[in-house]
Amino acid sequence: MKPRLPHEKKTVSFSREAVNVFFHILTRCNLRCAHCYINPDQHGADTLPLETICRWLEAFSPATRRANLILLGGEPTLHPDLALAAAHARKIGYDSITIDTNGYLFNDILDKTGPDTIDYISFSLDGATPETNDAIRGKGSYEACLAGIQKASAKGFATSLIYTVSTANLHELSAMPDLARRLGLSRLFIQVLGIRGKSAGDTTARKDMGQVSRKQWQNEVPAAAQAVADHGIIVTYPKVFLEEGEVFECAGRVADNYFIFPNGRVYRCPLCEDFPIHGLAFENDRLVETPRINEADLFELDIAEGCVMNRLVQPGNLSYRPDGRPEYRIACCLLKEEVRPGKPGRTSI
């Protein structure tokens, strides 16, 4: 058996040295994934015109810090001007640009832009087999995603994959390292299922798909990440559960992350997105603060369970001692662990 190389594993600390912009340029999609977090009642149903996208991008492109852009939907490749939006972001100084896609790659997007503009094309896949993935994302989506990755790779794009772990697909997580290797991925993102959007409102979806337990997460996810890193692929996954003595930090207090939706709402916390408590909004293409009370007020609260929004919207991943104290704290949903492939002679950190 080939010996496992030591890897670099670290918690990615929050920082104000970079701005991270998650821009939903539309909410329309060709799929109806069981765990979709898009909520048209709260996020809008418009496809933003290119002119609006460009003006809103300019609000988050500071001259003194790195600005990272993730273009999202719905399915962003359904937008006919996606390539032009990405080109404008690059022109005004965004340091990195990623497109998140389900893999169908509409509007000949791979022919309209290139690796000089797009740093990563990130694909969503929720099973190592068509049977598991397609039950979650829709018939034919597994083959479409793999074909999309192959097409993007052939054109020189760096590719990454997002795998959202739930009770419906945890059993196939151990098969993902080999699949990631065969696909030639640069990065793998393991996500935790959030109880929001369709997962929050569709009781049928929740019956077949739920959040994994703390024990399942801790037993399965770090091991899978290490196995993926064995193939030379960088892996990122949420911290989720804090260890004894670890300090809780809220990204809303100490980092600059912005989640933009077509109706002009701008959130700082993804767990707030099902509710009209966004801290910022675009009004006449100007970014303004919204009246209090909003998500910013929640960021200032300190509770024994850690994340306030987790306690409010998805308390099922909490557990308590007989005296009422929580057995552990939940980390901010934006706090990540990263495992980088090791090199001979190096030790883990």
pLDDT tens sequence across 299-346: 999 999 999 999 999 999 999 999 999 999 999 999 999 999 975 433
> Does 345 map to a domain?
no
Amino acid at 342: G
pLDDT surpasses 60 at 349 = no
- Torsion-angle region of residue 304: left (phi > 0), alpha (psi -120 to 50) or beta? alpha
> Does 280 map to a domain?
yes
Helix (H), strand (E) at residue 101: strand 96-101
Distance CA(231)–CA(184), nearest Å, equals 9
What phi and psi, each to the nearest 5 degrees, are found at residue 265?
-70, 140
- When pLDDT is averaged across residues 260-285 and rounded to a whole number, the result is 97
> Does 216 map to a domain?
yes
Q: So what's the pLDDT on residue 343?
A: 56
Domain count, the chain: 1
Q: So what's the pLDDT on residue 63?
A: 73
Confidence of residue 187 (pLDDT cuts 50, 70, 90): very high
Distance CA(125)–CA(177), nearest Å, equals 13
Percent of the chain's residues with pLDDT above 70: 94
Q: So what's the pLDDT on residue 1?
A: 41
> Does 231 map to a domain?
yes
> Does 3 map to a domain?
no
> Does 126 map to a domain?
yes
pLDDT surpasses 60 at 2 = no
Distance CA(44)–CA(60), nearest Å, equals 21
**Is-contact 20 72, C-beta < 8 A?**
no
**Domain of residue 229, residue span:** 8-340
Confidence of residue 61 (pLDDT cuts 50, 70, 90): confident
**Is-contact 86 99, C-beta < 8 A?**
yes
Domain harbouring 190, CATH code: 3.20.20.70
Distance CA(204)–CA(209), nearest Å, equals 9
How many Cβ atoms are within 10 Å of 49's Cβ, its own excluded?
A: 12
Q: Using only the alpha carbons of the chain, give its radius of gyration.
A: 20
> Does 349 map to a domain?
no
> Does 165 map to a domain?
yes
pTM of the entire predicted model: 0.94
Whether omega for the bond prior to residue 74 falls within 30 degrees of 0, making it cis, is yes
How many Cβ atoms are within 10 Å of 254's Cβ, its own excluded?
A: 13
Distance CA(133)–CA(140), nearest Å, equals 9
Distance CA(333)–CA(248), nearest Å, equals 11
Lowest-confidence segment of 11-20, 144-153, 306-315 by average pLDDT:
11-20
pLDDT surpasses 70 at 64 = yes
Q: So what's the pLDDT on residue 9?
A: 86
Average pLDDT of every residue of the chain: 93
Distance CA(197)–CA(138), nearest Å, equals 17
Distance CA(78)–CA(73), nearest Å, equals 9
- When pLDDT is averaged across residues 92-97 and rounded to a whole number, the result is 96
For 147-301, where are the E strands, in sequence order? 159-165, 187-192, 234-238, 241-242, 256-260, 265-267, 280-283, 286-289
Q: So what's the pLDDT on residue 195?
A: 87
Is residue 195 exposed (0-12), middle (13-18) or buried (19+ Cβ within 10 Å)?
buried
Distance CA(296)–CA(280), nearest Å, equals 10
Find tokens 């009781």 and name the residue. 203
pLDDT surpasses 50 at 348 = no
Largest interatomic CA distance in the chain: 62
Q: 3 Cβ partners below 8 Å, 6+ apart?
A: none
Q: So what's the pLDDT on residue 346?
A: 34
How many Cβ atoms are within 10 Å of 43's Cβ, its own excluded?
A: 24
Q: Closest Cα partner for 241 from 225, 265, 221, 267?
A: 221
Q: What end-to-end distance do the CA atoms of the chain give, in Å?
A: 24
Confidence of residue 204 (pLDDT cuts 50, 70, 90): low
Paired tokens of 210: 């739920």
Helix (H), strand (E) at residue 200: helix 198-201
